[in-house]
Amino acid sequence: MFVLNSRLKKLIIELLSHKEPVTSEYLAKVLGVTSRTIRNDVKTLNLELKKIGVQIEASRGVGYFIDSALGQQVTELIEELFMLQEEEHGNTPVLPEERILYILKRIIMADDFIAAEQLANELFVSKSTVDNDLKQVEKLLEKYDLKLFKKQNYGIKLLGNEMNIRFCLSESLANRKNEQAELENEIIADVNIDEIKAITKEYIEELSFSMAELPLNNLVMHIAIAIQRIKKGKNVEAGSIELDQLENQVEYEVAAKIVKSIEDKYAIKIPLGEVAYITIHLLGAKHFEDKDFHQSDFVELVWESHYQLVANILSEINRVYRIDLREDRELIYGLGLHLRSAINRLKYRMNLRNPMLTEIKRNYPFSFELGIVAAEIIQNNSELVVNEDEIGYIAIHLEAAVERMKNKKRRQMKRVAIVCASGLGTAKLLAASVESVFSGIDIVGTYPSYSIADIKKEEVDLILSTIPIRQESPIPSLHINAILTEKDIEKVREHITSKFLNEDNSKSLKKLQNLFSDELFFTDVDKKKPNEIIKSLSTVLNIKGYVDDSFQRSVLEREEISPTSIGNLVAIPHPLKPNALGSCIAIGILKKPVKWGEHTVQLILLLALNEKDKEEFGHLFNHIWKLVQNKKMVDELCTKENFEDFMGLFYSIK
């Protein structure tokens, strides 16, 4: 019976995620195979899809697609078909990153040595492939001070601190798509998760804060893993944790009660080190509090050290990007409370997986950059390395603060004039629609098109007109439809947001155009690693006088924190802070796509801004981000060998 492997799953996911046809060339780049392989894979998938009466269609010169007219029901049928196959037949890892996680898990869970030949047989690959994968496994283990001990004729064995082994195991499993199923089926099969959760919830109610659902589930899983490891004699030694720093914490008392209840339930003796282990998880759990921070002394609630850390973060964001969030008390309280738990997680190298990370990076790219600034401040203050998951959580707090400021500005822009050529009735309907959507807006009047000159700047903040306004006017205006549409609403919102950020879309677009030049356009770049590509492009910028020697180092440091690949074959590397001598964007088109973080990349836009342009970074960054979301166009951009042709297509993207 046919088993759907990882490559085929990625192919069907790509097709389902596109509303328009996708070329075999694009799919080949994303999956790292040839177009011929894509054609063969489509045939294989169609044999299975035939069971539910669906086919992947092909249009010559256009690409592959699944008829969107079939609707959401067909998408669900396809997902169900392949999910059932995975449950019934398992899923042998195919891609390198999947093999690495599989090998890591097998080594951690092995009671003794495990031979490389055995791993090769399980994965249906050669021993040399496993040997190469093991090099990557060793790099992952280094993060937790763990090592592989290799003994001839015996195999491989994991050496290291038990607490670090558990953290590594938990994170490696959290990176798997079916984390819950894997935990239950392979690691904690004889542990009742619901019982563990009930015990845990009973005692954490004694804490002064509520625990969010995700960290609660994370804690329960850690306890379940601990029970299984203890049964195997794998205990966390008390000496491996500084108990004197934990015993006076309320969380330690709660952890002791949880442990006592579990001992009674499972008839096992749990060592003292395990109490400390659970305490660490409680200290690292995300808090969920919705206090009235205006009425409370939130400096005391978030602790003075975290309050000062937030103040330093917001001061640096203001200095680097000229976005002043320093008076947002809700942000100070929320971010300060978050850092109380985050600092503990970072201290003990606990990873709280962020299930929203991809969406955060895609939907709030600039706020994620602000999170990078925060991460740098935290690292300088505590020498703790902040991972992508934590940066994502910080970015959510910052995005919320930016949105609050935008909303405040929207409320300040109250005076709107309506210009309509369709008569008074239409004008009144449009005015009512605008007032309905934008609460707080004051329609100061409705005007026929010939009396635009009568509208006074002192009385109006914005003109909404159903006809294009040709004549010069000191009052900003927007052309909208007589019957307000969703696009019109978004246009008004964007205008108000732009005013808040001191942006002018037309000026910003011209600024963006000025950043590109023929002398910084490179095709057939023959490099295979992100760092090599960054060094190559930044060296050219250095030679041409756009950047100094510190630029390359800053870009590589930014890349180390979080890869700047954004999917859709694109990466936008840039320094931690605007530090170029002259603002520019270098374009690099790779000869062959490369692996860049979690994505495949062929088009690189190396962004360099100097100090005087740093206020525009957020808008330019978001603007570029939006431009490269058209997958078909980006695929075509990668074929351009001429600068004018590239830029002509680049600015045609909507």
- Domains along the chain? 6-89 (1.10.10.10), 96-160 (1.10.10.10), 184-288 (1.10.1790.10), 298-331+351-408 (1.10.1790), 413-500 (3.40.50.2300), 509-650 (3.40.930.10)
List, for residues 562-573, the tens digit of each pLDDT value: 899 988 899 999
Q: How many percent of the chain have pLDDT more than 70? A: 83
Q: Cα separation of 298 and 278, whole Å?
A: 27
Pairing state between β 442-447 and 462-465: unpaired
| Closest of 316, 325, 321 to residue 376, by C-alpha | 316
Q: State the pLDDT at residue 68.
A: 58
Of the segments 9-13, 165-169, 315-319, 412-416, which one has the largest average pLDDT value? Answer: 315-319
- pLDDT tier at 505, thresholds 50, 70, 90: low
- pLDDT tier at 325, thresholds 50, 70, 90: very high
pLDDT at 234 over 80: yes
- Under 8 Å between Cβ of 338 and 287: yes
| Closest of 393, 130, 369 to residue 286, by C-alpha | 393
Which conformational region is residue 319 in: left (phi greater than 0), alpha (psi within -120 to 50 degrees), or beta? Answer: alpha
Range with the lowest mean pLDDT among 102-111, 156-165, 423-432?
423-432
pLDDT at 498 over 70: no
Q: Cα separation of 644 and 628, whole Å?
A: 17
State both tokens at 4: 């759907």
227 bridge partner residues: none
445 bridge partner residues: 417
Q: What is the average pLDDT across 458-480?
A: 82
Using only C-alpha atoms, what is the Rg of the chain? 28
Name the more confident of 605 and 97: 605
Name the more confident of 313 and 299: 313
The dihedral through the CA atoms of 480, 486, 491, 496 has a sign that is positive
Give the residue carrying structure tokens 């360099």.
Answer: 608
Give the residue carrying structure tokens 């026929």.
Answer: 448
Range with the lowest mean pLDDT among 239-253, 293-307, 412-426?
293-307
Name the more confident of 89 and 32: 32
Q: What is the mean pLDDT of the chain?
A: 81
pLDDT at 85 over 80: no
Q: Cα separation of 137 and 148, whole Å?
A: 9
- Under 8 Å between Cβ of 216 and 201: yes
The dihedral through the CA atoms of 227, 231, 234, 239 has a sign that is positive
Q: What is the average pLDDT across 583-605?
A: 92
Q: State the pLDDT at residue 312.
A: 95
Q: State the pLDDT at residue 247.
A: 76
Name the more confident of 235 and 172: 235
Q: State the pLDDT at residue 261.
A: 92
State both tokens at 139: 């790099």
- pLDDT tier at 89, thresholds 50, 70, 90: very low
Q: What is the average pLDDT across 100-127?
A: 87
- pLDDT tier at 82, thresholds 50, 70, 90: low
Range with the lowest mean pLDDT among 540-554, 560-574, 620-634?
620-634
Give the residue carrying structure tokens 């006017």.
Answer: 473
Name the more confident of 546 and 630: 546
How many other CB atoms sit within 10 Å of the CB of residue 273?
Answer: 17
Name the more confident of 534 and 99: 534
Q: What is the average pLDDT across 619-639?
A: 80
Q: State the pLDDT at residue 1.
A: 45
Range with the lowest mean pLDDT among 90-104, 192-206, 601-615?
90-104
Q: Which residues of 518-550 are buried (b: 16+ CB within 10 A; e: fewer)?
A: eebbbbebebeebeebbebbbebbbeeebbeee
| Closest of 640, 614, 523 to residue 320, by C-alpha | 614
Name the more confident of 3 and 549: 549
Range with the lowest mean pLDDT among 183-197, 237-251, 351-365, 497-511?
497-511
pTM for this one?
A: 0.67
Q: What is the average pLDDT across 468-476?
A: 77
Q: What is the average pLDDT across 543-548?
A: 94
Coil/strand/helix, residue 586: strand
How many other CB atoms sit within 10 Å of the CB of residue 430?
Answer: 25
Q: Cα separation of 484 and 250, whole Å?
A: 56
Give the CA distances from residue 346 to residues 309, 343, 393, 447, 624, in Å, rounded to whole numbers and listed in that order: 15, 5, 13, 60, 33
The continuous run of DSSP H or E covering 158 comes out as: strand 155-159
pLDDT at 183 over 70: no
| Closest of 471, 374, 346 to residue 419, by C-alpha | 471
- pLDDT tier at 605, thresholds 50, 70, 90: very high
Give the CA distances from residue 158 to residues 109, 195, 230, 464, 611, in Å, rounded to whole numbers and listed in that order: 9, 31, 17, 68, 49
| Closest of 637, 653, 654 to residue 521, by C-alpha | 637
Q: What is the average pLDDT across 242-254?
A: 77
Range with the lowest mean pLDDT among 361-370, 451-460, 525-534?
451-460
Q: State the pLDDT at residue 138.
A: 92
List, for residues 391-442, the tens digit of each pLDDT value: 999 999 999 888 888 776 655 567 888 888 766 677 778 888 888 887 667 8
Q: Cα separation of 190 and 296, whole Å?
A: 46
